[in-house]
Amino acid sequence: MTAMRVLIEARPFARFDIGHMQRLRDCGFELIDMRGSGVKEPAFMEALKLADLVLSGNDLVVDGNLLDSVPNIRAVCKLGVGLDMIDIGAATARGVLVFHTPGANDQAVADHTFALILSLARKIVRFHTGTRSGFWEHTTVLGMEIAEKTFGIVGLGSIGRNVARRAKGFGCEVVASDPFWPEAFAGEHKIGRVALDELLRVSDIVSLHCPFVPSSYKLIGERELSLMKKTAILVNTARGELVDEAALCRFLKDGRIGGAALDVLAQEPPGESPILSAPNLLVTPHTAAFTLESMDKMSKGCVEQILEYAAGRMPRHAVNREAFHPYGAGPAEGPAANECGVG
């Protein structure tokens, strides 16, 4: 058997530590480095046709049409936790295994969420920019305290739970909405379970941490925004498609909610999106998950699971296990599997 060919599409993979890429090379993999290449460019597609496995990020849409055009692909490793760019059903139907790296960026996203909240509530960017430009807005503009506010979390998965822990540290009353309710965690941390509408009505801060699926498209729209307090803050570090940006823009311009902080947008990069001109808006470029620590964990998680797969074993975070077919004993030209840390 020839060496497994791995096409690397995920731009952040091993960007800050080439050791992860070198580990794959040392274990006999043939790497096709397409990081930074446009996924719609002919050269990218021609390279993808040569690969056995693709290490993908947030740019490549892996659906039935793509998989039919690259029949050699036997597995997809997703850098990060979000799987909205991958049609799991289409992959399963074609015998393509999908695995990802859940848990690697939970702390990073939770930290960024609170950084956005504090920056927006205390108008940090405004004060920083003004002070450096010669404006001294001492006692002329007031911020909002976070302590003891009602904090609503939409999606109490791993990231949502880490955000809840931080909110509890500020003495907030935390309520949450999630169809897959973590009973033990909620009980331990005294988190109230409420329906989405009630969460929107009572919360001073609403933070989105649910996945993007067809049913959650524009989860927060005109009707939902109208339920929120006029002073409330909306935070989205999940997926841009969860929010109706046109409606949010209107509410911000009309002063019908207190503010919004977005790390994700419906279109990325946003170009000249009207949302960028809205007042009381803080925006970052889909960077919540990216810290030195989280990138190391995500890249390492991908490498270790690729090694598991190449050694004929089920990757620990496979999401469609029924599509698993043992690849073999590993790349024939590389060291034995146990020498690569999977024996």
Residue 341 has a pLDDT of: 61
Residue 37 has a pLDDT of: 83
Q: Kindly report the backbone phi and psi dihedral angles of residue 56, in degrees, each rounded to the nearest multiple of 5, phi listed first.
A: -105, 160
CA–CA separation, 322 and 193 (whole Å): 34
Summarize the confidence of residues 228-235 as an average pLDDT. Answer: 98
CA–CA separation, 343 and 337 (whole Å): 5
Can you say whether residue 159 is alpha, beta or left, with left for phi > 0 and alpha for psi between -120 and 50 degrees? Answer: alpha
* Structure tokens, 146: 């976070």
Evaluate if residue 329 carries a pLDDT over 50: no
Instruction: State whether residue 109 is helix, strand or coil.
Output: helix
Evaluate if residue 330 carries a pLDDT over 50: no
Confidence of residue 333 (pLDDT cuts 50, 70, 90): very low
Summarize the confidence of residues 100-106 as an average pLDDT. Answer: 94
CA–CA separation, 153 and 299 (whole Å): 28
Percent of the chain with pLDDT over 70: 95
Catalytic residue among 268, 293, 333, 339: 268
| Beta-ladder partners of 234 | 206, 260
* Domains of the chain in sequence order: 5-104+291-340 (3.40.50.720), 106-283 (3.40.50.720)
Which of 12 and 150 is assigned the larger pLDDT? 150
Residue 36 has a pLDDT of: 81
Listed residue (328, 343, 340, 335) closest to 53, CA to CA: 328
Catalytic residue among 94, 189, 193, 286: 286
268 is catalytic: yes
Residue range 299-323, pLDDT digits in tens: 999 999 999 999 999 999 999 999 9
Residue range 110-126, pLDDT digits in tens: 999 999 999 999 999 99
337 within 8 A of 329, measured Cβ to Cβ: yes
CA–CA separation, 207 and 186 (whole Å): 16
CA–CA separation, 341 and 337 (whole Å): 7
Residues 6 or more apart from 24 whose CB is under 8 A from it?
A: 6, 31, 303, 306
| Beta-ladder partners of 56 | 78
Q: In Å, how far from its chain's centre is CA 145? A: 27
> Which DSSP string corresponds to 60-100?
--B-HHHHHH-TT--EEEESSS--TTB-HHHHHHTT-EEE-
Beta-carbon neighbour count of residue 177 at 10 Å? 22
Instruction: State whether residue 208 is helix, strand or coil.
Output: strand
Strands 192-193 and 97-99: unpaired
Catalytic residue among 161, 209, 239, 317: 239
Residue 326 has a pLDDT of: 86
